[in-house]
């Protein structure tokens, strides 16, 4: 059985000092469970502080929100996979919708970034999802298929053994709207079929998009949904501890 995964994306929020306070509060409120993992994605400036503050918490990893695919060089403002790993990251978000649609990262960029993560043995969380106009045009399955296959093209099943996928409909992120559990599960089923066709089995597929304490249980009741990638609702350590304790 695939383990549950609760992933907190702090985005451009929570500095080093606040990360330490957050971790202390979360650790008081949350009891690790053997059937689930909790991952935190702080901003780059808080990676090292978060890594130290969560150290020793069972089934917990710290991740980078983004990396650049080059190993080193004159790339002002960029963070390589190796630098993120040195700061404590063990996992990394790849192709988050905000990287695609705010910062203009292309599918080719996402593919290069995924390979850089694998080269440094960071666990990649590949994000895919459609915009509202694509959903209304009935193109959801086509969009997520294109994004997934573009990212993993040429990689072997062995290389992709650690891959995690997150379905995050762009129209649901931070809007208060979310896909119904049935709709999300249907997309997850399609993604799992594509991965199976590529020889990849057992991949955890998360749902992200306005997840909160009120809807997390219904989402996780769907067998195809293996966890959640959460933004706004993860910024409060008390509320996030409650979300992480819920589910199947």
Q: Show which residues are catalytic.
A: 96, 168
| Of 145, 147, 163, the residue nearest 155 (C-alpha) | 163
| Of 165, 53, 154, the residue nearest 112 (C-alpha) | 154
């Amino acid at each position: 059985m695939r383990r549950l995964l609760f992933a907190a994306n702090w985005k451009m929020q929570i500095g080093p000092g606040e990360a330490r306070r957050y971790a202390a509060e979360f650790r008081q409120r949350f009891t690790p469970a053997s059937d689930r993992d909790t991952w935190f994605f702080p901003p780059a400036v808080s990676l090292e502080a978060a890594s130290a503050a969560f150290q020793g918490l069972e089934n917990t990893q710290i991740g980078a929100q983004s990396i650049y695919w080059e190993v080193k060089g004159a790339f002002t403002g960029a963070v390589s996979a190796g630098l993120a790993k040195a700061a404590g990251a063990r996992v990394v978000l790849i192709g988050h919708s905000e990287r695609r649609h705010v910062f203009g990262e292309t599918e080719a960029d996402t593919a290069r970034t995924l390979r850089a993560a694998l080269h440094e043995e960071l666990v990649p969380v590949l994000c895919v999802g459609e915009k509202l106009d694509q959903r209304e045009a009935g193109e959801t399955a086509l969009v997520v298929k294109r994004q997934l296959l573009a990212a993993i093209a040429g990689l072997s099943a062995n290389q992709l053994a650690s891959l995690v996928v997150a379905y995050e409909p762009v129209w649901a992120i931070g809007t208060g709207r979310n896909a119904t559990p049935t709709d999300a599960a249907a997309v997850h089923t399609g993604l799992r079929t594509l991965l199976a066709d590529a020889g990849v089995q057992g991949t955890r597929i998360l749902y992200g998009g306005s997840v909160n304490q009120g809807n997390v249980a219904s989402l996780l009741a769907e067998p195809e949904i293996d966890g959640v990638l959460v933004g706004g609702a993860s910024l409060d350590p008390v509320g996030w501890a409650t979300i992480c304790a819920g589910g199947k």
